[in-house]
Amino acid sequence: MYKLNTLLFGFGFIALIFLLPACVRKVEFPVGKKLECNAERLNKKGNRFLGVNDSTVLFDGGRQQTGKAAHSGKYSVFTTPKKKYCFGYTIRNVNADWYFIVTVWMKTKSENGYLVAAGKNINQLYEATNIPVEKDKNGWQKLELEVFTPIGFNNSEVKIYVMNTTRDTIYFDDLAIERRRRKIYPAYKETP
């Protein structure tokens, strides 16, 4: 009886060792991962954009592709009062203390185009910016958003998208989402 119990315990332990990794959820957006969308390539249905370096990554808004303006390549996306949102991408299984840098280029007559990151519960996470950090000679403005997920943000989602709050057409191009380990601050040296 002792040998049978020992044998059963041994098999149970071995099964646990092999099955436990299957129960652990894989991090879908690990530190260092960067996704980019340049609005150039569409999926077969034509309703979503393919990621730059990964064609399995899809971004919303493919039907808003336009050749009227582009920051890079031939195409960008347009947003209007009736089609306010575009470049949507949802990051799943996000936890607390994750840090993302999100950027997009925008061409507009006003500063009422936004880059947004929102959780399922917008009271827990909602970040948006319309303030450019850079402008180029062709009228494109770069928006940059730093996103820190708060304490209590467990196994949740972060939706990234652009938004138009004007009566005009706003163009967006070259969206990038990068997860970093932490914010990097400059090293200052005090001298007396």
pLDDT at residue 8 above 50? Answer: no
How high is the pLDDT of residue 24?
A: 53
Percent of the chain with pLDDT strictly greater than 90: 74
Distance in angstroms (rounded) separating the CA atoms of residues 18 and 10? 13
pLDDT tens for each residue of 118-158: 999 999 999 999 999 999 999 999 999 999 999 999 999 99
Exposure pattern of 41-77 as b/e (b: 16+ CB <10 Å)?
A: bbeeeeebbbbbeeeebbbbbbebbeeebbbeeebbb
Asked if residue 98 belongs to a domain, the reply is yes
Neighbours of 143 (CB within 10 A): 24
Q: Which of 10-19, 115-124, 176-185 has the lowest mean pLDDT?
A: 10-19
Exposure pattern of 99-109 as b/e (b: 16+ CB <10 Å)?
A: bbebbbbbbbe
Distance in angstroms (rounded) separating the CA atoms of residues 145 and 127? 8
How high is the pLDDT of residue 5?
A: 55
Distance in angstroms (rounded) separating the CA atoms of residues 116 and 86? 11
Task: Give the CATH number for residue 153.
Answer: 2.60.120.260
Asked if residue 12 belongs to a domain, the reply is no
The residue type of 13 is F
Per-residue CA distances from 22 to 15, 60, 117 (Å): 11, 31, 31
Q: What is the pTM of this model?
A: 0.83
Distance in angstroms (rounded) separating the CA atoms of residues 163 and 180? 24
Distance in angstroms (rounded) separating the CA atoms of residues 174 and 164? 16
How high is the pLDDT of residue 191?
A: 75
- β-strand partners of 107: 140, 171
Mean pLDDT of 1-23: 51
The residue type of 144 is E
How high is the pLDDT of residue 23?
A: 52
pLDDT at residue 183 above 80? Answer: no
Domains of the chain: total: 1
Are the beta carbons of 71 and 174 closer than 8 angstroms? Answer: yes
What Rg do the C-alpha atoms of the chain give, in angstroms?
22
How high is the pLDDT of residue 2?
A: 54
pLDDT at residue 36 above 80? Answer: yes
Mean pLDDT for all residues in the chain:
89
The range of the structural domain enclosing residue 106 comes to 31-180
Asked if residue 129 belongs to a domain, the reply is yes
Asked if residue 170 belongs to a domain, the reply is yes
Asked if residue 14 belongs to a domain, the reply is no
Asked if residue 55 belongs to a domain, the reply is yes
Are the beta carbons of 100 and 180 closer than 8 angstroms? Answer: yes
How high is the pLDDT of residue 10?
A: 53
Mean pLDDT of 95-99: 95
pLDDT tier for residue 182 given thresholds of 50, 70 and 90: confident
Are the beta carbons of 100 and 146 closer than 8 angstroms? Answer: yes
Q: Which of 25-34, 61-70, 115-124 has the lowest mean pLDDT?
A: 25-34
Asked if residue 36 belongs to a domain, the reply is yes
Mean pLDDT of 164-180: 97
Asked if residue 23 belongs to a domain, the reply is no
